[in-house]
Amino acid sequence: MKRLIMGMAGIIVLVLAGCDLTGTEGGGNEDSLIIADGVIDENVTWESGKVYVVEDSVSVEGDGRLVIEPGVVVKFYPDAYLWVSDQAAVIAEGTQDAPIVFTSIRDDAHGGDSNGDGDLTRPARGDWDQVYIEASGSRFVYCEFLYGGGGSYDSTLEVYGSYVTVDHCTFAHNEGQDYGAFDAAEALSQTIITNNVFYDSEKPLLVGLRYSLDDSNTFHDPDNPAVTNDYNGIFVDSYALAIGEDGPSITWEETEVAYVLDSTLTVSTGYTLTLGDDVVLKLWGTDTGIYLETSEDQIVNHDGSGVAFTSYRDDMRKGDTNGDGTTTSPSDGDWEGIYVDATSSWASWSNIYYALY
């Protein structure tokens, strides 16, 4: 349904937008304020030192290419979004000293008081919709994604059927209860997600089974490590796809938080899931487990130091992932187990906890 909704929005933009995406100059603070709404289907640059305000939507499509320079602030009104499709791309490469910020129109801390209301409003989770990518090749480096996720699918950055690079970015103060602040569930195998920081959002990250994830991402506020996320884990969309079905064997190496599954993960014949030491998988539901088509060896390093397979309610391993404090505790049967189809048997490793089998 979402793909239809987004497509209809693009048609509306094509019909109604005749504005110049280099923008209309505004005033109200020390930064140069530019209103940016409509279609980009050619090469356009958003320049350093300026604030670009999206009141409705910006659609980068066809062979369009939007380059966003270091230090640019992009502010969104409620329900506003940036959409990238066809063969288009967004190249948003900031620097450590001059990051690119995607944020709420109410965020006076970045780019000044752009809505001109003084202290009457303050930014909050869900103030604007999202950046939606369904065209391969976009790059986001040293970017900040703040106060987003206000759309019906509640992610602030979503990648669908395409690949991106997201490196040294910050995701903070976002919604994401259902799909995570960064929804990469449908991202393709060339996707790179490295060196990013996630904090003060609902769920930080939703991943798929087409690409690997290393141990370079951070899931707390670097300036205040006590600030994490409401549900502090990497949530895995394993419902509709098996490892190897539409991509390569993959590796998971994140050790700060657990990988969380609420549907069965399948590893296809000829493919593997490699786990780094200290990686924890948490599973939830009596019909949720891990299904190996050929052998136990399809999970490489399943007996590695610190590796564990456990319940979503298990706060002793990688913390309170389900965000309910001491309200719940793990028990046997919280999840199904690890099944090997070729031998019709259940794995009995010593690092499997609270499984039914």
196 — pLDDT class (breaks 50, 70, 90): very high
The pTM score is 0.92
Tokens for 134, please give them: 């369904």
Residue 46: both structure tokens together: 């958003």
Name the 3-class secondary structure at 99: coil
CB-based burial of residue 253 (10 Å sphere; 0-12 exposed, 13-18 middle, 19+ buried)?
Answer: middle
Q: How far apart are the first and last CA of the chain?
A: 37
Average pLDDT over residues 121-129: 98
For residues 5 and 57, what is the distance between their CA atoms, to the nearest angstrom?
13
User: Is 50 exceeded by the pLDDT of residue 20?
Assistant: no
- pLDDT tens digits along 31-86: 589 999 999 999 999 999 999 999 999 999 999 999 999 999 999 999 999 999 99
What is the Cα–Cα distance from 285 to 232, expressed in whole angstroms?
19
Banded model confidence at residue 19, pLDDT cuts 50, 70, 90: very low
* Longest alpha-carbon distance in the chain: 70
> Is 12 a residue whose pLDDT tops 50?
no
d(CA 200, CA 14): 36
State which H helix or E strand residue 149 sits in: none
Half-sphere exposure of 285 (CA within 13 A, CB side): 11
**CB neighbour class for 331 (10 Å; exposed up to 12, middle 13-18, buried from 19):** exposed
Kindly state the helix (H) or strand (E) to which residue 57 belongs, with its residue range.
strand 57-60
Dist CA 71 CA 293 (whole Å): 49
What pLDDT, on the 0 to 100 scale, is given for residue 240? Answer: 76
**30 vs 258, residue with greater confidence:** 258
DSSP character at residue 144: E
Q: Tell me: the pLDDT tens digits for 293-351?
A: 999 999 999 999 999 999 999 999 999 999 999 999 999 999 999 999 999 999 999 99
Rounded to whole angstroms, how far apart are CA atoms 232 and 275?
A: 19
As to burial, measured by CB atoms within 10 angstroms (0-12 exposed, 13-18 middle, 19+ buried), residue 39 is buried
Question: Which residues does residue 111 pair with via DSSP β-bridges, in sequence order?
Answer: none
Supply the Cα-derived Rg of the chain in whole angstroms.
Answer: 21
What are 75-92's pLDDT values in tens digits? 999 999 999 999 999 999
**Residue 352 above 50 pLDDT?**
yes
Q: CA torsion, points 65, 111, 100, 227, in degrees to nearest 10? A: -140
